[in-house]
Structure 1
Amino acid sequence: MTDASAAPASTDWLTLPDLVEVLGEPLGRVRRLLDDHVLVGSKRTGVFAVPALFIIDGAPLSSLRGTVMVLQDAGFSDDELIDWLLAEEESIGLAPIEALRRGRKSEVRRVAQTLA
């Protein structure tokens, strides 16, 4: 598992007000997306925020939820799974979040399952 400060420095983070605006959803709905693990975030910067890469075309990345659940089942905390998603993964050849954004969900989840 990774250090909680290991996320790439270039990662843009969206606070709750940012998410309300980007998603076009009320705060209650955004909180529900977080509760349901459709999105996952961190307070590592002092304010709760979600990596902007988890949003695509104004909506949560559809393959994120299942991947988050696999990583949580493997014992990852939210910070650890965010770091894993954002860091380059040697067996995939790029960051898992980039692979998910390119439609390579099965490959990412297969690797994630080996981390337990």
Structure 2
Amino acid sequence: MTDTADLDALVRDWLTLPDVSDRLGIDVGKVRRLLQDGRIVAVRRGDPTVLSVPADFLVPVHLANPAAPTSPVGAGESQWAVLTSLRGTLTVLGDAGFDAAESIEWLFSPDEILGRTPMDALRAGSKSEVRRRAQTLV
């Protein structure tokens, strides 16, 4: 099992579930639904321990799908969204037997074949490349 101190060395910023709720403009119950649906993953960390999500899972809404960016949203709309390519990637990792902490560790660890972290590659729009790489972990 991955130690949260190891994750803290890899992940720059973390958000609690209420923080995710505020950023996305939804209630905490809907954030928990995102967790249940596998759109995001979280680990318990801190003192006291609370469920926390890597902040990099959320992107400006116009960049939610890096392969097809849109225009920035207008005033009054949520400025943030979950990176769309994350869900399928988390599914591939889950199918390979990775738990939430192991998935986060893999996503934020440098990968020689990708030439960057899988998370950086996803945020740059390289979801197919990342998923092919994740499938080799099975």
TM norm structure 2 = 0.79
* Counterpart position of 2:53: 50
More relative contact order in 1 or in 2 (CA 8 Å, sep 6+)?
Answer: 1
CA deviation map 1:38-60 (0-9, x unaligned): 11111133211000000001110
Q: What SS does the corresponding residue of 1:43 show, helix, strand or coil? A: strand
Whether 1:33 and 2:34 are equivalent positions in the alignment is: yes
CA deviation map 1:58-110 (0-9, x unaligned): 11000000000000100111100100001111110101000000000000000
CA displacement at 1:8 relative to structure 2: 5.1
Give the fraction of aligned pairs with identical amino acids, expressed as a percent: 50
Amino acid at match of 2:99: S
Alignment CA distance shift 1:90-1:3 (3 Å) = farther
Alignment CA distance shift 1:89-1:4 (3 Å) = farther
Alignment CA distance shift 1:4-1:91 (3 Å) = farther
Root mean square deviation of aligned Cα: 1.4
Whether 1:66 and 2:67 are equivalent positions in the alignment is: no
Alignment CA distance shift 1:4-1:113 (3 Å) = farther
Amino acid at match of 2:94: Q
- Cα distance in 2 for partners of 1:8, 1:21 equals 22
Paired residue total: 115
TM norm structure 1 = 0.93
Contact 1:20–1:30 (CA under 8 A) maintained in structure 2: yes
Structure 1 gaps of 5+ residues are: none
Runs of 4+ in 1 over 6 A off after TM superposition: none
CA displacement at 1:7 relative to structure 2: 2.6
Structure 2 gaps of 5+ residues are: 61-79
Whether 1:98 and 2:120 are equivalent positions in the alignment is: yes
- Cα distance in 2 for partners of 1:105, 1:69 equals 13
